[in-house]
Chains A and B, each alone.
Chain A
Amino acid sequence: MEIHDLQHDTKRPSGSDPRWSRLGFILAASGSAIGLGNVVFFPANAYRFGGGGFYLPYLVALLVVGVPLLIVELALGREHRRAYPQALRQTAGAPGEFIGWWALFNTGFIALYYVAILGWVFGMLIGALGPLWAPSTALPGFAVDSLPNPGGYFFRMVSGWGPIVFIVAIWTANAVIVRHGAAGIERATRIFVPSMWILMLVLLIRGLTLPGGLDGVWYLFTPDWQSMADVEVWKGAFSQIFFTLSIGFGVMTAYGAYLPDRGSQSQQALLVACLNCGFEYVAGIAVFAILFAFAVVPQASTLAMTFFIVPEGIASLPGGPPVVTSFGLLFFTLLLLAGLSSTVSMVEALAAALRETCNLSRGVTVAAICAAGVVGSSLFVLPAIVDSGLEGNGTLGLTLLDLVDHWAFNYGLLFVGLSQTLLLAQRRRIAELRQAVDSRSRWRLGPAFDWLVGRVIPALLLALIGWSLVNEVKGGLYGSDAAFDAGWTWLSQLAPGAALATWILVPTALAAWLTRRSNRRTCMETSR
Chain B
Amino acid sequence: MSSLRRSIPTPNSVVAWVAILAVGFFVVLVVTVAGSTEATPSSGQSIEIRVDSTLLHVGEPIRLEVSGAQWLDRIVLRGESRPGSIGAQPIEAPWVPARGFVDWTPTRAGLARWVVTDLLGETLAVRDLAIAPAGVPASGVVILLVAGGLLFGGAGLGLLAASGQDQEMSDSNS
Interface residues of A (CB under 8 A from B): 1-5, 18, 21-22, 24, 47-53, 55-56, 59, 129-130, 133-136, 148-150, 180, 182-183, 186-187, 190-191, 194-195, 198-199, 212, 215-219, 221-224, 226-227, 230, 232-233, 262-264, 267-268, 270-271, 273-275, 277-278, 281, 291-300, 312, 315-317, 320-326, 329-330, 441-443
Contact = CB atoms under 8 A, between A and B. Distances in A.
Given A194-B14, A198-B21, A222 B162 contact: no
Contact of A191 (B17, B38, B131): B17
B150 A324 contact: no
B46 interface: no
Contacts of A183: 4, 7-8
Contacts of A18: 4
A24 B158 contact: no
Interface string B126-151: 00111111001101110110011011
A224 B89 CA distance: 14
Contacts of A317: 39
29 contacts: A3-B4, A48-B85, A52-B140, A59-B150, A135-B37, A149-B41, A183-B4, A187-B8, A191-B14, A199-B21, A215-B130, A215-B131, A215-B132, A217-B144, A222-B143, A262-B165, A262-B166, A270-B155, A271-B162, A274-B151, A274-B155, A281-B148, A291-B111, A297-B84, A300-B85, A315-B39, A315-B40, A320-B39, A326-B25
Given A2-B1, A55-B143, A190-B9, A293 B130 contact: yes
Contacts of B132: 212, 215, 218
A136 B140 contact: no
Interface stretch (B28-36, B68-76, B90-98): B28-36
A320 B148 CA distance: 33
Nearest to B140: A222
Contacts of A323: 29
A274 B150 CA distance: 8
B59 to A, nearest CB: 14
B1 A1 contact: yes
A271 B32 contact: no
B1 A148 contact: no
A40 to B, nearest CB: 15
B154 interface: yes
Interface residues of B, number: 69
Contacts of A24: 8
Contacts, number: 229
B129 A5 contact: no
Contacts of B136: 218
Given A133-B39, A198-B22, 9 more contacts: A135-B37, A148-B43, A217-B140, A217-B144, A222-B143, A274-B155, A278-B151, A296-B111, A330-B25
Nearest to A279: B151
Contacts of B139: 52, 222-223
B23 interface: no
B174 interface: no
B28 A329 contact: yes
Contacts of A322: 29-30, 32-33, 36
A197 to B, nearest CB: 10
B161 interface: yes
B143 A270 contact: no
Nearest to A199: B21
Contact of A324 (B39, B83, B143): B39
A135 B144 CA distance: 37
A49 B154 contact: no
B128 A295 contact: yes
Contacts of B150: 59, 274
Which of B4, B7, B87, B131: most chain A CB closer than 10 A? B4
B42 A135 contact: yes
Interface in B1-60: 1, 3-5, 7-9, 14, 17-18, 21-22, 25-26, 28-30, 32-33, 36-44, 55
